Structure 1
Amino acid sequence: MKKVLLLSLSTVFLLSSCVSKKQFTDLQAKQKETQDLLNSATVKLNTCLEDKASVTARATALEERIADLKDTNDNLQILSAKGASNVEKTLESLKEKDLKITRLQDAITKKDSVTLALVTSLKREVGINDPDIEVNVEKGVVFISIADKLLFKSGSYNVTNKAKDVLAKVAKVINSKPDFEAMIEGHTDNVSYRKEPLLDNWDLSVKRSTSIIRVLQELGVNPGQLIAAGRSSYVPLVDNDTAENRARNRRTRVVILPKIDQFYDMIEKEMKNLEAGGQ
């Protein structure tokens, strides 16, 4: 711009020496007009440059925003796909759990059905009308409670001949259920007992249990199904405050239950079948 101005002044100076005053004045006016146009063009140019810089900045910001939105959209699509996959996996897991629960319920139902059939068989074989023999179910377990007066003489652990008739019926039921076990529990009252070689009520309760087990074995019961147990006087049915109550507490209980390992094997088998079916 300075060069243009100097050139204009030089031109004016040179012309002033060669032209008339009127021509010089006209040239000055023309030069001023040119200078005004130049100044105006410079202002417009600067304004345009500023507008361009502003527009460029806005364009850059918009491009960055678009890039961010694109990245966000891509991430949302990835998250959406993962979310859908997770939901699908969760639903599959819930279905598997439902199937497992159903299988377990079926296994328990099957066990309960067997238990019910066993109770019916026991009541038919042993005799439901005998007040000294009770057949019941406690928490899914079948048991026969036999009063001691049917099995032993007072203070003795030798099984009476009359008891063998009752035990023969019990043996028949146990033999019909080879997948079950029979735990023979001896129970006494709280009257202290000591008679050589037995030391106390513990010994008496266990000895009565093993005596019955030997009779059952003689009657053909598989000894692998039999379990000897003595509870002494610590699980009474009623308070030992009368002779009648003490008589009730002196009893032998035959607990018939499915073999635990076989029951869990059945459940495990169902679980394996379920997993194989899901693959």
Structure 2
Amino acid sequence: MKHSVFSLSVLTVCILFTSCVSKKQFAGLQSDYNKLQTENSDLRKSYQDTKEQLVESRTNAKSLEDRLAEARRNNEEIRSSYAALQGSLDKSLQQNSQGNINISKLVDEINASNRFIKQLVETKTKSDSLNLVLSNNLTRSLSREELKEVDIQVLKGVVYISLADNMLYKSGSYEVNERAGETLSKIAKIIMDYKDYDVLIEGNTDTDPITRANIRNNWDLSALRASSVVQVLQNSYGVDPKRLTAAGRGEFNPIADNNSALGKQRNRRTQIIITPKLDQFMELIDKAPESSNK
């Protein structure tokens, strides 16, 4: 660019100091001058463009450096976040592994409890079924007349045989009469057929006070009546006394209103209660799976 300006200057000086040129030479010189002017203008424009491009390039370079620095900062943050996430993941995996162990232990305990419950249910179902069979066998063994004075029920897995006092005893007495012998013999046979059952004999009275010598009150009367039935079952029909229990509840376990003669008659009764041996269920309870709190 400096060379072009110098040439232009020389040409101008030559024109000014040279007056003796022909028109043809002048025209040539004029053409060269115009050409140099054009080239100079183009050079100026090129120079300006180059300068602007340089500024733009420097600006872009600064922007790229800033972006690179920001990218490096972001990369460092990402690495830190990754390390934190990896730590959290490792901790979660460790906790999950421990949780799986606890869950597995809990599942084992639940399965053991379910097996125990199933065993209890099966035992209870078996017991209920035997009780129904016992009740049906007893009902079939009794005559129609005996069934009028004997009430047989199965409630919550227990067989209740309720005998009216006028069938078993004389009025105001606790001695078993001869009339009751045949009925008690049938009951005794059923009891002996089911050796895994315990038998509770329970005496009950109405509210009328007893007025016999050597019997203080209805407690005594109900207990003596139960004891009499127990001894008949043992001595006359061979029931194992270890399976028998005598109990008296006096007037305090009524099933009807004592304000009427019919109600009092229903309350004067002796119940033979046949139940599965409790030790069968206690053995199952002893085998129950222990809960683990570890």
The alignment's TM-score, normalised by the length of structure 2, stands at: 0.68
Contact map agreement 1:128 1:135 (CA 8 A) in 2: no
Report the residue type matching 1:107 in the other structure: T
CA distance in 1, matches of 2:123, 2:178: 41
Report the residue type matching 1:225 in the other structure: R
Give the Å deviation of 1:62: 4.0
Contact map agreement 1:107 1:266 (CA 8 A) in 2: no
Alignment of 1:31-42 (within 5 A): none
1:235 aligns with 2:253: yes
Q: Specify the SS of the correspondent of 1:80.
A: helix
* Equivalent position of 1:198 in the other structure: 215
Report the residue type matching 2:96 in the other structure: S
1:223 aligns with 2:241: yes
Report the residue type matching 2:140 in the other structure: R
CA distance in 2, matches of 1:142, 1:179: 13
Choose 1 or 2 for highest CA Rg.
Answer: 2
1:96 aligns with 2:112: yes
CA distance in 1, matches of 2:104, 2:145: 59
Give the Å deviation of 1:82: 3.2
Number of aligned residue pairs: give it: 230
1:76 aligns with 2:97: no
* Equivalent position of 1:149 in the other structure: 166
* Equivalent position of 1:118 in the other structure: 134
Report the residue type matching 1:79 in the other structure: Q
Task: Specify whether residues 263 and 70 from structure 1 end up closer, same or farther in structure 2 by C-alpha distance, changes over 3 A only.
Answer: closer
CA distance in 2, matches of 1:151, 1:123: 18
Contact map agreement 1:186 1:251 (CA 8 A) in 2: yes
1:137 aligns with 2:129: no
1:261 aligns with 2:279: yes
Q: Specify the SS of the correspondent of 1:183.
A: strand
Give the Å deviation of 1:255: 0.4
Task: Specify whether residues 208 and 190 from structure 1 end up closer, same or farther in structure 2 by C-alpha distance, changes over 3 A only.
Answer: same
Contact map agreement 2:141 2:186 (CA 8 A) in 1: yes
Report the residue type matching 1:144 in the other structure: I
Give the Å deviation of 1:88: 3.6
1:165 aligns with 2:194: no
The gaps in structure 1 that reach 5 residues or longer are 1-48, 273-279
CA displacement, residues 183-233 of structure 1 (integer Å, 9 cap, x when unaligned): 111111110113221100000000011011111111211000110111111
Q: Specify the SS of the correspondent of 2:283.
A: helix
* Equivalent position of 2:270 in the other structure: 252
CA distance in 2, matches of 1:188, 1:268: 39
CA displacement, residues 36-63 of structure 1 (integer Å, 9 cap, x when unaligned): xxxxxxxxxxxxx999997776655444
* Equivalent position of 2:62 in the other structure: none
Q: Specify the SS of the correspondent of 1:175.
A: helix
Contact map agreement 1:179 1:259 (CA 8 A) in 2: yes
Q: Specify the SS of the correspondent of 2:209.
A: coil
